[in-house]
Structure 1
Amino acid sequence: MSERKLMSLDDMFGDISSEKETNSGIAEIEIEKLVPFSNHPFKLYEGERLNDMVESIKEFGVIVPIVIRPIGTSYQILSGHNRVNAAKLAGILKVPAVIKEGLTEDEATLIVTETNLIQRSFADLRYSERTAAISQRYKAMKQQGKRNDLLDEIEKLANPYNIKDEATLCQVETKLRTDEKLAQSYNLSRNMIARYVRLGELDSDLMNRLDADEIAFMTAVTISFIKKEEQQIINEILNSNNFKLDMKKAEVLRDYSEKGKLNEETAYSILSGELNKKTKSNKPTAIKLKPKLISKYFAPEVKQPEIEDIIDKALKLYFETQGKEVLDE
């Protein structure tokens, strides 16, 4: 079966600048019929920002329509999770919505990520939110080739008054390769874009640890190269023990994984630090005599075996006069 292409701009949104489409495409939907997007990667507003939105909705209502798609007898929110949450708190029963049907999962996810980024500063997002946004945009741009019309239309839909924060997404050139376009959009290096795309392979529980600053960014990137089932083993060990996962341990874990040697036992040994712990040797520390000391008692022509024999006899005599036992070899 051939892979389904992303829908065109007209199929997906129509001409939203058209008065006819605006009038016919917006409906009043009861809030109780709305459900959040599955695994919504963005954290809802809290504190002052949420309070301000609630007060604004109490005074003016929901001005910008949310974007939804039909799911059974309900509607799934694609854009507007914060508006819906604030409307509930404000006691609003219905919100204006643009209903979109026939979307692929990729198209639906792209709307979720892009509309959120247009409203927020990238620097304010959690690592999981940044990863979701960049990974989805990267995937969409790879599928679309040189087309940017879908992304442009999402921006218009989410920001109809063309009010744009300097920290949000910028328009990209079509002649650049995909990672270069993303680097321009987010003001990140190509290497950093690649790392965020890679973090899309990180286990969700370990991603939560990254968001909570329990794991460093580059440590998480290294762990993302490990098989998902092995990542889950790592997380379970971290849950049960007070171990720290740092870059050094992450590199060893990845190495064991690539060699097919990573299991619960080896993972525990690595995370606990026992694997590379040096065992104490019973051998005495080697001593090297300074040439000045040797020349003080021995002529240059005296060979090393003879010197060692004399030193041995001298030490035996010393220990005997001190009443100390001489250890056997």
Structure 2
Amino acid sequence: MTKRRNNFSKMRGIEAFLEPPPEAAKKEKKVDLLPINELQLPLKQPRRYFDPSKMRQLVASIKEHGVIEPLLVRLLDEGQHELVAGERRFRAATEAGLEKVPVVIQVLSDQEALQLSLVENLQREDLNPVEETEGILDLFSIEQSISKEEVIALLNLSANAKKRGQELTDNVVRQLESMQETLTVLGQTTLESFRVHRLPLLNLPTDILEKLREGAIAYTKAKAIARVKDKRKRRRLLKEAIEKQMSLVQIKERIKSLCCDPKPDSPRVEFESLTRKIAKSKLWENPKKWKRAQTLLAQLDALASED
């Protein structure tokens, strides 16, 4: 932690955002009032969905009490201010008709601003699992100075190496340890659990991803519904699961009834099943049926004798 804080100006570690240095904590943050029309949203925003009902509640609260917690902004070269953290408050204040909002201004680079915004959002309980997964990937990408695709490749490399009993290079081990440290600080799970349970969410069909972003369905249920390949059936099940608030067990039962026709049995299984059925029926006890059966048995005997 100390090492990262010493390199604070180069690239702030996640702990620097969550636990500021003691000397900084002693100083009271200066809060300014800025015209809301002088603030602009960043080009890359970690949050993409805002629950309409919760936004209405926030707008009503701001109309009555104002913005209690200041927004975090940074000063741009052209004299404008860019929002770093507090987008829900910013949007609600705009809708409430406020002309000015309280802000704390910090000097941040593009990467630091995005990193801080991601950390701030990842600590919020109402962040949906898709945005949370994307946010963690973005955070890994910034901290390791590699692309998100390279982050995913690194996690898969680690998993494959573990399966095969192979050793990883020191550099890869350091990267993985750093990413695990970030997850721990954020109160998240292990890297392997993130790889297995969270990354697959990003490959879900668009209609399911949309509902996940809205918080309309749990990701475990979404993953189950995604197994239905037929688009119409999948959309119908998705709508039904949300409207009826179906449990995961209920969804799995519906999938069984909706899904593709069962695979046909192998010839051997089919033949053995038929012979068991014949034996159970006791055809030989009915003279008429047995006579017809003898004709068919003779044909089968002939087939079996052919080269």
Q: Structure 2 length normalisation: TM-score?
A: 0.49
Higher relative contact order (CA 8 A, sep 6+): 2
- Larger proportion of helix: 2
| Higher alpha-carbon Rg | 1
